[in-house]
Structure 1
Amino acid sequence: MAGLLTSSNGVSGSWVVSSVFVFVGVSAPAVVAWALGLLRTGTRQRRAAQRERVLRMATERTQQSVIAVAAERARIAREMHDVVAHSLSIVVAQADGGRYIAAQNPEAAAQVLETISTTGRSALRDMRRILGVLREGDANPTAPQPDAGGVDALVEQVRASGVSIELVRSGEPQDLPAGMGLAVYRICQEAMTNVMKHAGPVQRVRVRVDLAFHPGWLVVQVDDDGRGAATSSDGAGHGLVGMRERLALFGGTLQAGPRPGGGYRVNAAFPLPRAGGEHP
């Protein structure tokens, strides 16, 4: 009896062991195939995610490039408008006045021609500078830019065209960042250009330019007693748009419109940088 049981148990154990080996032998390839499938799926997903990241980064770089190009085009457009409009306004004013002066005062007519020549040459230099930044390998891409200190020469240039103009500085002067100094100069330049274009005969117009330093602010104001600008005070003209864009870079504000007593006023307020160089 015991022998039979032993024999029976041996047969049963062998069958179990054989079954296990058969199961493992049959299922192992399926398990391996399943594992390889998971691995391939994970690899495909990682590659797809990597491609998506690359495409997203390329799209972001393209968008940044488009924004940078648009900003540069706007900057160049502002510079070209300021330079060309101002210089041509002086040339036209001088040429118009020169026709009447030549017959009465030849010496004054010669001075008019000298002003036209000087203004034209200055405009050409500025145009070369602006166009130079568009060329790769420009020999002098960082030519000096005008700043707030150049407003005096700007006023003298306008005065030479026949405009009665005065410059008044007040408050405690403060050193300005290069970009802000250029913006102050260009806003004064554009305001004076508008006077010569829209205020009427330049010999009958009086202009006052104020550069006033207040605690935390620099206020630039240009007043004239002419007939006012042709553009509306909502800033629809290119010149006023350029002023607003320049001020926006520094968090400043612009008010432009007719004066209550006649004429036109441009008021630009720049927040001055704090001691650490930050703007308020």
Structure 2
Amino acid sequence: MLEILFSSPKEARTIYAIFRSIRKEFLSELQLINDELIKISPKSWDVSLEQIVIPGFIQFILEYKEHQFMLSILKEEYYFVEEIEQQQILQIANSIIDGERTDIPRIQGLCPRDEVLKETLGMFLKPELNFSFASFQKFRLHQYIARLREYVEVAIEEYKLEQEYQSFIQSLRDYQCEQKSKLERISIVHKEGYVVYDDNKQHLSDDQLTAYVDQGFIYQHPMYIDSNLLAPLVSIAPKEIFVYTNDSIDGMIQTIQNIFQEKVRIHSLAEFT
């Protein structure tokens, strides 16, 4: 018999419901006693461990405890106390965990956290074991918590980069809004690169674009600004920008949209005449 003691009735009821939802009647008997003690009497230990106990624990930890763990890491180890910051960083961490940010080198090749938990539980759980979940959490989850810490650290780095990017965008937005427009309209044709045209659809060469750049502003700017396209656009401060592209999610195009906002019109390449 496996006995697990919980200090929180809510946690005990939650994991008991999980065990029941995945239980095979002929494999295990389950009991919840006084909303604090779960007893599992497996008819086949190996099968019950593989099909009920370990999957149930993993589901409980990932769905009900992981957010709490990461929040504790943020507050106690990295001293993020503002709720808005916490939410934004944890949102980034969750997107990393869910595989939405695969381009971050540091997280590539990391063993999935459910596999970490599976290995930990497999080494710990034994027949006729009595333990408290609080002790298990404190003494046995070091490897899993270390994995979460890696995700949190990467999320903090990404959060800071995004904050810097937003500050960068806002400074360019403010600057171009203060400038007198040197050209009413700019057209940008995006294929393999970016080709710029003036009000009359006349091609603007690199030298012509460079001539518009306010070198003083670019020099003083704390972040790198693309000197071939973005710097001339901000210095020209056009009232309208027509972008012709078949890839509207291109990074540079999105940056132009973020800076110039309602001044930007996106069209397909086929519409450029």
**TM superposition score category, shorter chain reference:** under 0.3
Give the TM-score normalised by structure 2: 0.22
Give the TM-score normalised by structure 1: 0.21
- The structure richer in helix per residue is 1
Please identify the structure whose Cα radius of gyration is greater.
1
